[in-house]
Amino acid sequence: MWLDVHARLAQRFTVFAPVQPGFAGTPLPNWVRAVDDVALHTLDLVHTLGLDSPVLVGLSLGGWIATEMAVLRPRSVARLVLVAPIGVKTETPLPDLFIMEPFEAAPYLFADVAKAMALMPAAPTTDSVVRMWEEQAAVARLAWHRPYNPSLRRRLHMIECPTLVVWGSEDRFVAPAHGEMLAREIAGARLEIIPEAGHALAIEKPEELARRVIAFAAGRGER
């Protein structure tokens, strides 16, 4: 999906929003077994596109992929923005979204549940239901066993680029305290909290998220 936050960022930057394997009707290859497989695949995409040290932004599972990319190839990323990422083990287990219906999961992802309901089709088609389960299968391939890499926390010191961590104040899926830990573990990183926002920051607060990403990407407000 091309979201409002993408459009806002595209007013200032060239934005690439890659579809990961298994999403949007694309096949899920057998070689995709873990998040580092997707991270290396995306690094290959960056190289194929001829991008020289881009600003890398990742939300939730995308934040996990982005973190792995910055750890695996530190000099391939100019700046890193992690928006409520999973991937590093949390103090308490994450809610199991795989066993929930969409209406049950919404309060964990949105501060304003009405915004989640607005995304759901009034009358789902067969194609939309199949697509939903295909994408759930892609997520399960990466995060069913555990939604984190047990080695990732001790590798965070390998991230060399300026890093911004962004969290919603009302995130009920991954607590903002987890963002505080990441900001401590990544050298020079800083944490910014967006008020009245849940886990799905890109959908709930696109203008505020884009504003903070743009300011950081332009080098403003750094320590």
CATH of the domain at 60: 3.40.50.1820
Residue 191's φ and ψ, nearest 5 degrees, are: -110, 135
- Produce one character per residue of 94-126: b if its CB has 16 or more CB atoms within 10 Å, e if not: bbebeeeeeeebbbbbbbbeebbeeeeeeeeee
Does residue 200 belong to any structural domain of this protein? yes
pLDDT classification of 137: cutoffs 50, 70, 90:
very high
Identify whether 222 is part of a domain.
no
Compute the average pLDDT of residues 173-181: 97
The CA distances from residue 223 to 163, 187, 188, 219, in Å, are 11, 12, 8, 10
Percent of the chain with pLDDT over 90: 81
Range of the domain at 202: 4-217
Q: Are 81 and 164 in contact (CB under 8 A)?
A: yes
Provide the percentage of residues in the chain whose pLDDT is more than 70.
97
Within a domain: 223 = no
Task: Tell me what pLDDT residue 216 has.
Answer: 97
3-state secondary structure of 44: helix
- Residue 191 in any domain: the answer is yes
Mean pLDDT score of the chain: 93
At residue 7, the 3 state secondary structure works out as helix
Average the pLDDT over each of 45-49, 116-120, 203-207 and give the range with the smallest value: 116-120
pLDDT at 121 over 80: no
Residue 223 has pLDDT above 50, yes or no: no
CB-hemisphere CA count at 13 Å for 123? 0
- The mean pLDDT value for 42-71 works out to 97
122: pLDDT strictly greater than 50: yes
- Predicted structure pTM score: 0.93
Tell me the β-bridge partners of 194. 168
Q: Which of 43-52, 65-74, 110-119, 164-173 has the least mean pLDDT?
A: 110-119
pLDDT tops 60 at residue 215: yes
pLDDT score of 220: 59
Residue 136 lies in a domain: yes
Domain count within the chain: 1
Distance CA 100, CA 12 (A): 38
